[in-house]
Amino acid sequence: MSKPMPKALAALAALALAASGAAAQDLTIAVQKVADSLDPVTENSNVNLRTVYSLYETLVKTDYRDGGALKPGLATEWNVIDARTLEFKLRDGVSFHNGDTLDAADVVATFDPKRRGLDENVTVSSKQFLGGIDRVEVIDDMTVRIHMTADDAIALNRFAGFPSHIISADAFNAAETYEDFAAQAIGTGPYKLDEHVVGERVVLSRFDGYWGASKAAADTVTFTVVPELSTRIAGLISGQFDIITEIGADEFAQIEANATTEVAGGPVENIRGLFYDSTNETLDEPKIRQALNLSIDRQLLADTFYDGKTTVTNNWQMPVFGAMYLADYPMPEYNVEKAKALLEEAGYAGEEIVFRVLPGYYTKQLETAQVLQSMWADAGLNVKLEVKENWSQITEDTETRHIIDGSFTAYYPDPMGQFWRRFGPNSGKEASYWNNSPEMLEMGETLATSVDVEERRATFRAMLDNFETNPHGALLHTLAGFMGVRSDRLTMDPIPSEYMDLTTDGVSFK
Amino acid sequence: MSWVVLRLGRALLTLLLLIAFTFFTLAMNGDPAAAKFGPDIDPETLEAFREKWGLNYPLWKQFLIYLDGIWRLDFGLSFRTGRQAWELVSARLPATLALMLPTMFFSIALGVPLGIYAAAHRGGRADRLTIIAAVIALAIPAFLLGLLLMYVFSVWLGWLPPSGWVGWSSFLMPVATMAVSTASVYARFTRSAMVEVMSHPMIETAEASGLSRRLIRRVHALPNIALPLITITALEFGNIITYAVVTESVFAWPGAGRLLIESVAGRDYAVVQAIILLTGSTMILANLLADLAYGWVDPRIKDARRPRPHRKEARA
């Protein structure tokens, strides 16, 4: 019994340092969870997105402070040779955290088959993002040409977003196993990894060799796991934490009422929505799914659960889509009378529709489900809520899977990165949840491969119209991420993304 | 000797049942692949993960593979981290023990004297107040008491850190949260045991012989309440582990209790099993030690466990 105690004290002392937040330029951020793996291709989760932005960079940078414009990142220039070939000129003098210098070998290692889900011994979650890459051709030390397997309308976007973050070839080749490599989290970002204790904390420190203009704002950043929201709030108010994440509208008043704390954040590039299983009885009738969509008062949900601090989008798109954004597309319709008429036409006689809910995964998830149930009841829909414990129970393919929750992150500022990523043939739900019509699949192919913007816009509009009549899901509102911040110590300027900007652009000390 | 062998055999059977129950309960109501990757993953990745970790085998086969590992003291790898489950658990154990041991100490140090005091003033105001306080302390759930303490001492007064470990002051609220209910159990049991002993004819005899009440309590009563206290200590050990799971979550304490919650949610079988096996063994060991302690405290029990001589030998 005597041996473990020194270890215990060491572990606790480390936590003490992590949690103190006393030094002038140190940040302590209380989070619900930290990623199990900080490797972008291994873990696709909102908690990993939070740290990825500090550790890694992409060839092309998506500038969230400029409407999602694509700007030079680790590549200074690029050339879209054709719909399936891109060439990137790499930036000189960029160092990785391990001292390796950026060159073409690093891009080759980044898109190694192991990191694209093509090696059965390495489990990664990047296949849906990087599966279309055929090979990386080295033109010279600082120039690479990337070949896609098929025409890809958003090929450039794929190298400007998750999980195309460039890794060090030296680290990749030197590691004994992929897990060993992934644990090092070596990138070129403004912070380097000091410590990662799974389930407990991630500690980052300023990377002095960072090339960019927006440097690390803090000397160290500690993401410490505090699962209970009440404890995170107590820690913020008592000064133990500088920032706390995942707060809801219910907590705004308490945080704002305190003289030294405030709420930061707002809508992010993610739509909160629902999926319908139209392969099962009752929801196989499109009119009933249309009625479900018509009965939802989306603005009421946004106002109630987000204190009006989030928005409802004009259908499955976001302004960040730029040229692909259909600004004139109408808002989703809320019309209970029309829903009732459709139900009558469909011959709906109160058959039970099951909505499986996993409380706590999304903000106010159970409460949202209860309000939706009540809205649907107003239109005459008999929806039963079934509360589940985990995602495998939610997604289990049985006759009673009718409605499940979902979110629709715009990984790329394009319908291919959101709407068609989640409803298209590569969504993982085709055939299991629904069968897209041949017409819809054909339009999806055009959306995926055409490089003519006008043709793509017209196709996207037609797809949204088609989806209205045969919906496989419902959009609710834009997801929002709110944080509590120590306003006496910091000023935060978050980006509208699930990434957390801890550079001098996003955080300044008072 | 045969008594010890019997007890050990029962302990091993209990452990086996515990492992089997935990394994099948976890395996039958959640898929580790879905838990690890969440809802947005493609089916091919899920399938590759299941294949890699042997999750496509029938459950009975997975169980036998697991048992085979346990037999070789290999608790398996964590799905979440790819690291040895035992390595993860043992890294968290010291923090849990650092809460449990002071909790046990303060529970006994506070609860036993309170129970004796209440029994000594049986029926009086002090007795009634002690009982009411003990009932309230037992009735308040640990998470609620933890949050109440946090709001008073961290948010209002700003005296104590609400989470993690930032110095020795960090122990106060978690230990108090766990010790309050355990101390109340000790107070109630000590009181009732003391009241029972004090109504025994031997106490009357002692009083008649002119001994003081204090001496009677120390010499005649206290040794007689030792047995129920040993029993309670063995049982409360299990309760303290339960309180640790809740308390560690409330105070973000980096112990094995919080790891258990994370691992159950993530269907990280190997880690859950390692923790359950460890806590189960601890409980069984605590009960075994309590049984052995009975014999030491009360020699009559030791005598009763000795095998009786054969009738013929007895005649000879």
CATH code of the domain covering residue B146: 1.10.3720.10
* Backbone φ/ψ region at A411: left (φ over 0), alpha (ψ -120 to 50), beta: alpha
Retrieve residue A454's tokens: 């006008």
What is the CA A85 to chain-centroid distance, rounded? 27
Q: Is A454 on the interface with B (CB under 8 A)?
A: no
Domain count across chain B: 1
Q: How far is A80 from chain B (nearest CA, A)?
A: 28
3-state SS assignment for residue B297: helix
Residue to test with chain A: of B101, B163, B171, most A Cβ within 10 A: B163
Are both A7-224+489-509 and A269-480 of the same fold?
no
Helix and strand counts by DSSP (H, E) for chain A: 17, 18
Distances in whole angstroms, Cα of residue A212 to Cα of each of A40, A207, A208, A420, A507: 21, 11, 11, 34, 16
Retrieve residue A484's tokens: 């509590």
The per-residue pLDDT string of chain A (510 residues; one tens digit each, 9 = 90 and over) reads: 333 334 444 444 444 444 444 446 899 999 988 999 999 999 888 889 999 999 999 999 999 888 888 999 999 999 999 989 999 999 999 999 999 999 999 999 999 999 998 888 888 888 888 888 999 999 999 999 999 999 999 999 999 998 999 999 999 999 999 989 999 999 999 999 999 998 899 999 999 999 999 999 999 999 999 988 999 999 999 999 999 998 988 899 999 999 999 999 999 999 999 999 999 889 999 999 999 999 999 999 999 888 888 999 999 999 989 889 999 999 999 999 999 999 999 999 999 999 999 887 787 889 999 999 999 999 999 999 999 888 888 888 898 999 999 999 998 899 999 999 999 998 888 888 999 999 999 999 999 999 899 999 999 999 999 999 999 999 999 999 899 999 999 999 999 888 999 999 999 998
A7-224+489-509 CATH pick, 3.40.50.2020, 3.40.190.10, 2.60.120.260, 1.10.730.10 = 3.40.190.10
Q: How far is B5 from chain A (nearest CA, A)?
A: 25
Q: How far is B13 from chain A (nearest CA, A)?
A: 26
Is residue B2 in some structural domain?
A: no
* Start-to-end C-alpha separation, chain A: 47
- CB contacts < 8 A, A to B, total 164
**Amino acid letter, A302:** A
Is residue B298 in some structural domain?
A: yes
What is the CA A388 to chain-centroid distance, rounded? 23
Domain that holds residue B130: 85-305
Cα angle for residues B258, B262, B266 (degrees, 5° grid): 165
Retrieve residue B267's tokens: 């269907």
Q: Residue A137: is it exposed, middle or buried by C-beta count within 10 angstroms (0-12/13-18/19+)?
A: middle
CB B31 to CB A121 under 8 A?
no
**Distance between CA atoms of residues A423 and A413, nearest Å:** 16
CB B41 to CB A123 under 8 A?
no
Q: How far is B250 from chain A (nearest CA, A)?
A: 6
**What does the DSSP 8-state code read for residue A101?**
B
3-state SS assignment for residue A355: strand
CB A123 to CB B45 under 8 A?
yes
Residues of A in contact with B173 (CB under 8 A): none
Residues of A in contact with B38 (CB under 8 A): 44-45, 391
Q: Is A235 on the interface with B (CB under 8 A)?
A: yes
Radius of gyration of chain B (CA): 25
Residue to test with chain B: of A390, A405, A411, A498, most B Cβ within 10 A: A390
Q: How far is B94 from chain A (nearest CA, A)?
A: 5
**Distance between CA atoms of residues A408 and A427, nearest Å:** 11
Nearest CA in chain B to A409: B40
**What does the DSSP 8-state code read for residue B83?**
S
Is residue B226 in some structural domain?
A: yes
Closest in A4, A237, A432 to B93, CB measured: A4
Q: What is the pTM of this model?
A: 0.85
Closest in B40, B254, B261 to A44, CB measured: B40
- Within the 104-133 window of chain A, which residues sit less than 8 Å (CB to CB) from chain B? 117, 120-121, 123-125, 127-128
Which class would CATH give A269-480? alpha beta
Is residue B34 in some structural domain?
A: no
3-state SS assignment for residue A481: strand
Residue that is written with structure tokens 């055409």 in the block:
A450
Maximum CA pair distance of chain A? 76
**Distance between CA atoms of residues A37 and B266, nearest Å:** 14
Residues of B in contact with A44 (CB under 8 A): 37-38, 40-41
DSSP string for residues in A14-44: HHHHHHH--STTEEEEEES---S---TTT--
**Residue ranges per domain, chain A?**
7-224+489-509, 269-480
CB B163 to CB A406 under 8 A?
no
Q: Is A224 on the interface with B (CB under 8 A)?
A: yes
Nearest CA in chain B to A427: B42
What ipTM was predicted for this assembly?
0.80
Is residue B214 in some structural domain?
A: yes
Residue to test with chain B: of A34, A222, A230, A236, most B Cβ within 10 A: A230
What is the tens place of the pLDDT at every residue in A63-116? Answer: 988 888 899 999 999 999 998 999 999 999 999 999 999 999 999 999 999 999
Closest C-alpha among A188, A147, A156 to residue A40: A188
What is the tens place of the pLDDT at every residue in B166-223? Answer: 888 999 999 999 999 999 999 999 998 888 888 888 877 887 887 787 788 777 888 8
Starting at the edge strand that comes first in sequence, how are the strands of the sheet with A85-90 ordered?
Answer: A75-82, A85-90, A143-148, A133-140
**Distance between CA atoms of residues A369 and A198, nearest Å:** 32
Closest C-alpha among B134, B298, B119, B108 to residue B200: B119
Closest in A13, A125, A235 to B41, CB measured: A125
Retrieve residue A470's tokens: 């045969």
Per DSSP, which regions of B52-203 are E strands?
A: none
Retrieve residue A86's tokens: 């891109």
Main-chain dihedrals φ then ψ at residue A265, nearest 5 degrees: 110, -175
Evaluate if residue B42 carries a pLDDT over 90.
no
Retrieve residue B49's tokens: 């993960």
Is residue B78 in some structural domain?
A: no
Q: Is A28 on the interface with B (CB under 8 A)?
A: no
Nearest CA in chain B to A432: B43
Count other Cβ atoms within 10 Å, centred on residue B59: 12
Is residue B28 in some structural domain?
A: no
Closest in B35, B82, B94 to A5, CB measured: B94
Closest in A179, A239, A240 to B82, CB measured: A179
Is residue B191 in some structural domain?
A: yes
**Distance between CA atoms of residues B71 and A142, nearest Å:** 55
